[in-house]
Amino acid sequence: MKPQSIARLASLFILGVAGFILLLGAYLWLETERVSREIRAREEQSARAEVMAGLKQMQSRADSLARALALWDETRQQLVFTDYYTLWRDARVRDAGMVPESVEAVGLYDKQGRILVAPAAAHPLLRQVPGVAPLFLLQREHGRSYFLVFLPVHADPDGGILLGYLGLKFDYARELRQVRTYQFADLGKLRVDLPEGSSVSLAQAPTYTRYSTYLNPDRVAFHDLFLTSLLRLMVVILFLLFLAAWLLQHLLVRPLRAFSAEIAQLREPGVHLPGKSYIVPLAVLELENMRHSFNDYQMRLSALHNNLEQNSRDFYDQARRDALTGAFNRRAFDEDWKSQDEDRRLGPLALLLFDCDHFKAINDTYGHQTGDLVIQNIAAALLEALRSADRLYRLGGDEFVTILSEADSYRAEVVAERCIEHVLSMNFRQYGMSEPATISIGIALSEGDGITLHELQKRADLAMYTAKRPGSRKLVFYSEDMGGMAALVGNREISAVFQAIANPDLIELHYQSVIRLPMEIREYVEALTRIRFEGELIGPGAIFPIVQARNLDMELDLAVLRALERDMTLGRLPAGQGVSVNLSAPSIVNAKVVDALIELIHKQPGRKMVAEITETALITQIEVASDNIRRLRETGCLVALDDFGSGYSSLRYLASMPVDLVKFDISMVRLLESGDRRQCLMMEEIANLVVTAGYEMVAEGVETRELLDKVISLGFSHAQGFYFDQPTAPNEWS
C-alpha cells in the first residue's frame, strides 16, 4: 500500500468518524421515528381496546341498572296501576336512586311495546320499543348520540308473565366516558357518524364512533427530548470531532510534518539539527519523547560528528605536523604552498629558509637524542621569534622554512635576526653541549614581480648556502649575483658531487701557493677541490654547500685524497712538492680519513704534507681529533688550523689541538686593511698571542704588497693569496 501522509490519514479518520456519527445519528433518528410510529399504533390499538371495553362495561352497567329497575317492585307496581306513572317516572324512580343522573330518560312500555305515557321530556324515549327486547342501541338524534336500553319486565321470577318493557336513555358519549378511565382513547371530542334519527345495535357502535387517541405526553416528551438530545449530541460530537481535528492538526500533524520536513532536509548537505521543531516542546507525550529521543540521537550524532571532525582535524593536523618539533612538516608546506599551481605568481612576501649549522657533527658528537633536543629547541626558538600568524615548517633534518606575507626586506631581516637571537639565547649546555647551536638563514623576497614559489624557494636555498659558507653572514638575502650558484645547487650540481665522490677522477684539484715569509718563496701548495662534470668545472662555492647540506664531508675528503694521490702518481704534482689538503671537522675525527691520509703520506715519502683542519667546522670530539692530529704529526705531516677567526674561533681548539700552523681567515687578515685601529690592534694582539703560543701563522687572502708587509710585520710565517698566484690546474701550474 502506498504510504499516505499523516494529514491525509488524520483527515480521512476524522471524516470517517464524522460520517459514521452522522450515519449512526440518522439511523437512531429513523429508528426512533419507527418506534414512535409503532408505539402510536399500539396506543391507537389500546385506545380501540379501551373503547371496546368501555362499550362492554357501559352495556353491562346499563344492563345491570335496567335489570335492577325491572326487578324493582315499584316498576311492576307502575305497569299494573299506571295512575301515578308520570310521578314515578319523573320523580320516584330518581328519588329512589334507581337510575343515575346520566340517564337522560326512563320509561315503561306495555306488553305491546307502546310507551305508557307519551314522552314530553327534552330527550324523550322512543314511543315504541324498536325490536325484541332486550335491546342495546346507539341512536343519533338532534345532533346528539344516545345509548338506548330496552328490557322486558316480568311479573314472576321465572319470566313467564310479561308485564311490559323498560326503556332507558343515556348520553352515549358521557356514559362511555364515565364507565371507565381511558389512558389512550381521547373521548373529549367523541362523535358518532350516524345519519340523523337512525340507530344501530350497540355491537356496531365501534364502526360509527369516532374519537382520537391521547398523545402520551411522556412518550411525546421522550421522543422530542430524545431527538433534541440526539441533535445536540450530534452537534456536540461533530464539534468535538472538529476540535479533535484541530488538535490533531496542531498537536500531531503539523509537528510530525515539520519533523518529517526537517528530517528530510537532513539529506541536504550543510543542514544541521536542531531546527525549530526540535526546540519547541510538543504537546503529545509520544511525540515529545520521540523529539527528545531524536534530539538526543542527533546530539550524540552531532557530538560524534564533531569528534570525528576533531579527530579528522587532529589527524589532519598531526599529518601536517612534525612530531618532533610541533612545527608544520613538509607535507603541510606542500599543501599550503606547493599544492598551488607552481606557475602562480606570488605577491609580496619573504621566504626564510633556516638550517642548523653543523647539525651532523652535533648528532655524531652528542648523539641523536641530543640532536633531537637541539632541533626541538631551535624550533621552539623560531616559533617564539615568528609572528603568531606565521607558520614554521620543518622540511626535513635541520631545515626549517617560513613565509612572511606582506613582508619587505627590512621586516624579513628583523624577523630573521630575531630568530637568530632566539636560537642563540637557548641554553644548549643543559644537554652537555660545549658549543652553541647556530642557524643559517637564507632569505628570498618576492616583490610581486611574478616569481613563483619554486623559484623563490630555490633562491632561498642559494642564500642559505651562501650563509653556510665560511666567513659568511648567517643571514643572507638572495641577490642576483648568486645566480651563478643557482645552477650548482640544482640537480646537476648535486649529481656532480655524488658522482665525484664515487669517481674521484671527476675531481680536478687546483693548487695555490703558500709562500714562506719573509723570503717569499713557495713552500708548498694548497690543493683546492673542483669537479669537472660534463665538461664544466664546478667550483667550491657550489660544492661545499651541497657537501655540508648532504653531510658528505668525510666522503668528499676521501675522494679528494684519492684525487691527490692520483695527481702525485701521475706527476701532476712534482715530486717533492709539498702540498696541503683540507680536512673537514668530521674527517679529522674519522679514523678512515686519517688512515687514508697517513697511507698517502707513506706512499709519498719526502714530500711535505700539511693537513688543514677547517676552524669553521665544529669539532666536538677534541680528544679524538687531538689523537688523530698527533698520529698525523708523527708521520711528519704538519697540521694547520684553517679559517681561524671565521668560525667558532675557539681558543680551546688552539689550546687543545697540537697544530703546527694557524691559518688566519681572509676576513681576519683583511681587518688589517680596514683602517680601524681597534680592529688592527686586535688582529695584532691575536697574531702576537698565536706566535707567542708557538704556532706559525699563515695569512690568507693576501692580494697586495701592503697587506703582505703588514702580515710580515705581524710575524706571519706564511702567506697565501692572489698577490702570489691564483689556484690553477696542475697542467697550468709550474
Taking the least distance from each CB to another protein, the nearer of 96 and 502 is 96
Q: In 160-195, which positions are buried (b, 16+ CB within 10 angstroms) versus exposed (e)?
A: eeebbbbbbbbbbbbbbbbbbebebbebeebebebe
165 binds another protein (CB under 8 A): no
157 binds another protein (CB under 8 A): yes
CB of 102 to another protein, least distance (A): 22
Taking the least distance from each CB to another protein, the nearer of 157 and 694 is 157
Which one of 77, 216, 295, 679 is in contact with another protein (CB under 8 A)?
Answer: 77
Taking the least distance from each CB to another protein, the nearer of 80 and 235 is 80
- From 466, 451, 485, 473, select the one nearest 350 (Cα to Cα): 451
# of chain residues touching another protein (CB under 8 A): 18
Helix (H, G, I), strand (E, B) or coil at 391: coil
Write the interaction track for another protein spanning residues 32-71; mark x where CB under 8 A is met and - where it is not: ----------------------------------------
What are phi and psi for residue 367, nearest 5 degrees?
Answer: 95, 160
Taking the least distance from each CB to another protein, the nearer of 3 and 157 is 157
Integer Cα distance of 15 and 242 in angstroms: 9
Which one of 61, 76, 223, 607 is in contact with another protein (CB under 8 A)?
Answer: 76
Integer Cα distance of 674 and 641 in angstroms: 24
How open is the CA angle 82-85-89, to the nearest 5 degrees?
155
CB of 87 to another protein, least distance (A): 6
CB of 210 to another protein, least distance (A): 42
Judged by CB under 8 A, the chain residues 82 through 121 that form the site for another protein are 83-84, 87-88, 92, 95-96
Beta bridge partners of 538: 531
Taking the least distance from each CB to another protein, the nearer of 77 and 216 is 77
Taking the least distance from each CB to another protein, the nearer of 76 and 391 is 76
How many angstroms separate the Cα of 58 from the Cα of each of 69, 123, 198, 315? 16, 20, 20, 118
Beta bridge partners of 199: 139
CB of 195 to another protein, least distance (A): 40
CB of 68 to another protein, least distance (A): 11
Taking the least distance from each CB to another protein, the nearer of 95 and 286 is 95
155 binds another protein (CB under 8 A): yes
Which one of 13, 29, 72, 733 is in contact with another protein (CB under 8 A)?
Answer: 72
CB of 67 to another protein, least distance (A): 14
160 binds another protein (CB under 8 A): no
CB of 81 to another protein, least distance (A): 6
User: Which amino acid appears at position 151 of this protein?
Assistant: L
For the purposes of burial, counting CB atoms within 10 Å of the CB of 235, is it exposed (0-12), middle (13-18) or buried (19 or more)? Answer: exposed
Taking the least distance from each CB to another protein, the nearer of 85 and 723 is 85
Integer Cα distance of 701 and 720 in angstroms: 6
Q: Identify whether the C-beta of residue 453 lies closer than 8 Å to the C-beta of residue 427.
A: no
CB of 83 to another protein, least distance (A): 4
Taking the least distance from each CB to another protein, the nearer of 71 and 251 is 71
Question: Which triple of cell numbers denotes residue 120?
Answer: 314530553
- Three-state SS string across 603-655, please? HCCCCCEEEEEECCCCCCCHHHHHHHHHHHHHCCCEEEEEEECCCCCCHHHHH
Query: Which residues form the interface with another protein (CB under 8 A)?
Result: 72-74, 76-77, 80-81, 83-84, 87-88, 92, 95-96, 155-157, 163
